[in-house]
Chain A
Amino acid sequence: MGPGGACWRGGGVPGGFKRWLSSQARAPRVCVVGSGPAGFYTAQHILKHHDLARVDIYEKLPVPFGLVRFGVAPDHPEVKNVINTFTHTARSDRCAYYGNVTVGRDVTVGELQQAYHAVVLSYGAEDNRVLGIPGENLSGVYSARAFVGWYNGLPENQDLKPDLSCETALILGHGNVALDVARILLSPLDLLRKTDITDSSLAALACSKVKRVWLVGRRGPLQVAFTIKELREMINLPGARPVLDPADFAGLGNAVKDAPRPRKRLTELMIKTASEKPGEKTVAAQVAAAAREWGLRFQRSPQEVLPTADGRRARGVRMALTQLEGSGDSAKAVPTGDVEELECGLVLSSIGYQSLPLDPAVPFDPQRGIIPNSSGRVEGAPGLYCSGWVKRGPTGVIITTMNDSFDTAQSVLEDLQAGVLDVSASREGFGAVGSILRSRGVRPVSFSDWEKIDAAEVARGKAAGKPREKIVDPEEMLQLIGH
């Protein structure tokens, strides 16, 4: 599979004969569930630090890379450079990729444990938190997760067809996903056209009437969860004017004087943007051209999505005004009793992702939405590990996920070294799982199959001047590789 070739640890002596001999010794077989950053970084670290280990990665979708493909915004191609590293890992002789296999349905975790010495669960967070307020299911209300999946070509969200016929959109939440969604809604089409955003969502955005986006948070400016790079990008977005109310930031300059640098700079950027009057210096040209606008609203907690007269669609959201109790990151938003109605035709709830339990055999903490673990060792389940969002919860950028995946890989290595993981009994790995899958009519997709799909996507994109045109129908992917 793949153009493997001889692989050895660079920097060290190429293994040669001794290596060959020792490879006849028992190789630990490790299984990783999920091919997002957590899965790939865990595999990478184990392969790199153990010369004999073999790692098989199972993925639900035919195509790999998780949120790097289906989450990261299309206008952030540089973030997706990590795919190059993942591709190298997947092409290693000691690594195999099996897409199109849903663990928990096509094969159980118990069956995987029979076939491997260690099983690492890195299946991410596939659902989203819900607000739990009346009106949440009205038409015109979407989760940011589904909206992101829609524009990024995630198969399950291709029927979303969000209604973009209104002028005002409300995004609930102050995280980076909220900013991603706002930016996609307001970006000039010419910028998006050159990205790998799907053709159909581009067409829908071309007809969008949305020209005003409010991002509403339940806490204050000092508690926003988004980061400065993403905010700056939004502020500099061509054709869109930031609308920040200076009153929201009164006195904050002083308050953050001694705050850690990231919080301080982020707050200062908001204060500066709020105080730049339209028509002033840098923003002048931008404002003149800006047919669209966006803004941040604070201390408003969603209470109810209000229906139109016919009771079918969203026409706005009633917000409970809040005051903060405590300060800093841990401040709590407490309703003051006052309410306010914000009108809008589109509501995007961006209050976070959520992991789901995978298999009754695997412990799961529903409160925290994670698999309970210490340093990636699943509590009470020897031989079972976890990494990434399902280990930590659905926050953190790729580098955070990388670090915690290395941490989990380290635990696996420690347990191998200490003999906690018994490798004396041979395990068949995919040999065993493959027959189970066959008996259930499941045909895995290999990494070289993915490379064919990849090439087809790149070729389709080329005509349109895009890095790729994603294939959004799994059936079409499977046909393409002759399944």
Chain B
Amino acid sequence: MAAPGPLRLLRAAAAARRWLLSASPAAGARPGRGRAAAAVAVGAARPFGLSARAALSSEDKITVHFINRDGDKLTAKGKPGDSLLDVVVDNNLDIDGFGACEGTLACSTCHLIFEDHIFEKLDAITDEEMDMLDLAYGLTETSRLGCQICLKKSMNDMTVRVPEAVADARQSIDMSKNS
């Protein structure tokens, strides 16, 4: 199910706008330069070439559970080496405002809270990530920026939590479900 190159580019869109994804090719007219740059920044050399990736079976995929702000659990799969931002974008996960800078360490909207045992084994944090994380809402001891965390086999079935934004303290309303 791995997306071929061009499609991946088309998808280089912040999760925030997945609700608008139209069939139009213009949707990806200006792919974020961001995520390519981010891959370099994190040194996330993707472990598989395209053809190898295409051959990945679903067992090679890693399952991640996201607890969204409203408490809803979203479950999605990603490939080893994918960042958590990739997982959110590629699976169109509905997390408001996630990934505004498209993985370029310039926004902190991809802030996620990890389970202790996973957090301890994450790659060391860089000064640059820490600088951005310092601006995030609801910072905790086990917070990291999702665009900088790449999936590993050992993360299978982990649960990450989307922190509450100040604005989300109240009950959110969705009038698109009951139309």
Asked whether A330 is an interface residue with its Cβ less than 8 Å from the other chain, the reply is: no
**With a CB–CB cut-off of 8 A, which chain A residues contact B167?**
403-404, 406-407, 410
Find out whether the CB atom of A48 lies under 8 angstroms from the CB atom of B19: yes
Asked whether B30 is an interface residue with its Cβ less than 8 Å from the other chain, the reply is: yes
The answer to whether A402 and B134 touch (CB under 8 A), given A10-B92, A78-B37, is no
**Which of A2, A92, A413 makes the CB contact (< 8 A) with B175?**
A413
For the complex, give the distance between the alpha carbons of A416 and B174 in Å: 11
Find out whether the CB atom of A11 lies under 8 angstroms from the CB atom of B92: yes
Find out whether the CB atom of A51 lies under 8 angstroms from the CB atom of B106: no
Find out whether the CB atom of B139 lies under 8 angstroms from the CB atom of A399: no
Select the residue from B18, B20, B96 with max chain A CB neighbours within 10 A: B20
**Which of A22, A79, A87 makes the CB contact (< 8 A) with B107?**
A79
Distance to closest chain A CB from B65 (angstroms): 16
**Which of A51, A85, A398 makes the CB contact (< 8 A) with B176?**
A51
Find out whether the CB atom of A85 lies under 8 angstroms from the CB atom of B179: no
Asked whether A5 is an interface residue with its Cβ less than 8 Å from the other chain, the reply is: yes
Distance to closest chain B CB from A229 (angstroms): 4
Find out whether the CB atom of B102 lies under 8 angstroms from the CB atom of A81: yes
Asked whether A286 is an interface residue with its Cβ less than 8 Å from the other chain, the reply is: no
Find out whether the CB atom of B132 lies under 8 angstroms from the CB atom of A52: no
Asked whether A228 is an interface residue with its Cβ less than 8 Å from the other chain, the reply is: yes
**Which of B14, B20, B107, B170 makes the CB contact (< 8 A) with A398?**
B107
**With a CB–CB cut-off of 8 A, which chain A residues contact B14?**
81-82, 84-85
Find out whether the CB atom of B101 lies under 8 angstroms from the CB atom of A49: no
Find out whether the CB atom of B179 lies under 8 angstroms from the CB atom of A52: yes
**With a CB–CB cut-off of 8 A, which chain A residues contact B173?**
49, 410, 413-414, 417
Find out whether the CB atom of B139 lies under 8 angstroms from the CB atom of A261: yes
**With a CB–CB cut-off of 8 A, which chain B residues contact A10?**
18-19, 21, 92, 94
**With a CB–CB cut-off of 8 A, which chain B residues contact A438?**
none
For the complex, give the distance between the alpha carbons of A48 and B14 in Å: 14
Find out whether the CB atom of A78 lies under 8 angstroms from the CB atom of B34: yes
Distance to closest chain A CB from B17 (angstroms): 4
Residue of B nearest to A402 (CB): B97
Residue of B nearest to A90 (CB): B20
For the complex, give the distance between the alpha carbons of A406 and B137 in Å: 14
Asked whether A250 is an interface residue with its Cβ less than 8 Å from the other chain, the reply is: no
Distance to closest chain A CB from B9 (angstroms): 12
Residue of A nearest to B105 (CB): A78
Asked whether B154 is an interface residue with its Cβ less than 8 Å from the other chain, the reply is: no
**With a CB–CB cut-off of 8 A, which chain A residues contact B128?**
229, 232
**With a CB–CB cut-off of 8 A, which chain A residues contact B94?**
10-11
Asked whether B13 is an interface residue with its Cβ less than 8 Å from the other chain, the reply is: yes
**With a CB–CB cut-off of 8 A, which chain A residues contact B134?**
227-228, 261-262, 265-266
Residue of A nearest to B128 (CB): A229
Asked whether A312 is an interface residue with its Cβ less than 8 Å from the other chain, the reply is: no
**Which of A7, A22, A262, A265 makes the CB contact (< 8 A) with B20?**
A7
Select the residue from A85, A91, A413 with max chain B CB neighbours within 10 A: A85
Asked whether A76 is an interface residue with its Cβ less than 8 Å from the other chain, the reply is: yes
For the complex, give the distance between the alpha carbons of A92 and B177 in Å: 18
**With a CB–CB cut-off of 8 A, which chain B residues contact A48?**
19, 96, 176
**With a CB–CB cut-off of 8 A, which chain B residues contact A261?**
134, 139
Q: What count of chain A residues pass the 8 Å CB interface test?
A: 58
Find out whether the CB atom of A9 lies under 8 angstroms from the CB atom of B19: yes
Interface string of A251-270 (1 = CB under 8 A from B): 00000000001100110000
Asked whether A4 is an interface residue with its Cβ less than 8 Å from the other chain, the reply is: yes
Find out whether the CB atom of A85 lies under 8 angstroms from the CB atom of B105: no
**With a CB–CB cut-off of 8 A, which chain B residues contact A35?**
none
Interface string of B86-121 (1 = CB under 8 A from A): 000000101011001110111111000000000000
Residue of A nearest to B179 (CB): A51
Asked whether B165 is an interface residue with its Cβ less than 8 Å from the other chain, the reply is: yes
Distance to closest chain A CB from B128 (angstroms): 7
**With a CB–CB cut-off of 8 A, which chain B residues contact A404?**
167
Distance to closest chain A CB from B11 (angstroms): 12
Find out whether the CB atom of B22 lies under 8 angstroms from the CB atom of A78: no
Asked whether A12 is an interface residue with its Cβ less than 8 Å from the other chain, the reply is: yes
For the complex, give the distance between the alpha carbons of A402 and B139 in Å: 17
**With a CB–CB cut-off of 8 A, which chain B residues contact A11?**
18-19, 92, 94
Asked whether B26 is an interface residue with its Cβ less than 8 Å from the other chain, the reply is: yes
Distance to closest chain A CB from B22 (angstroms): 4
Asked whether A44 is an interface residue with its Cβ less than 8 Å from the other chain, the reply is: yes
For the complex, give the distance between the alpha carbons of A179 and B104 in Å: 20
Select the residue from A88, A228, A403 with max chain B CB neighbours within 10 A: A88
Distance to closest chain A CB from B75 (angstroms): 13
A-B contact pairs, 15 of them (CB 8 A): A6-B22, A10-B94, A11-B18, A15-B179, A22-B179, A48-B176, A49-B174, A49-B175, A78-B106, A81-B104, A227-B131, A229-B132, A262-B135, A403-B137, A414-B173
Would you list the 9 A-B pairs with minimal beta carbon distance, nearest first? A78-B104, A407-B167, A5-B22, A262-B134, A88-B17, A229-B131, A51-B179, A51-B176, A3-B24
Instruction: Give chain A's interface residues, CB within 8 Å of chain B.
Output: 2-7, 9-12, 15, 18-19, 22, 41, 44-45, 47-53, 76-79, 81-82, 84-85, 87-89, 91-92, 227-229, 232, 261-262, 265-266, 397-399, 402-404, 406-407, 410, 413-414, 416-417
Instruction: Give chain B's interface residues, CB within 8 Å of chain A.
Output: 13-14, 16-24, 26-27, 30, 32-34, 37, 92, 94, 96-97, 100-102, 104-109, 127-128, 130-132, 134-135, 137, 139, 165-168, 170, 172-177, 179
Known pairs A50-B175, A78-B102; list 11 more (Cβ under 8 Å).
Answer: A3-B26, A7-B22, A10-B18, A45-B96, A91-B22, A229-B131, A229-B135, A399-B109, A410-B173, A413-B173, A413-B175
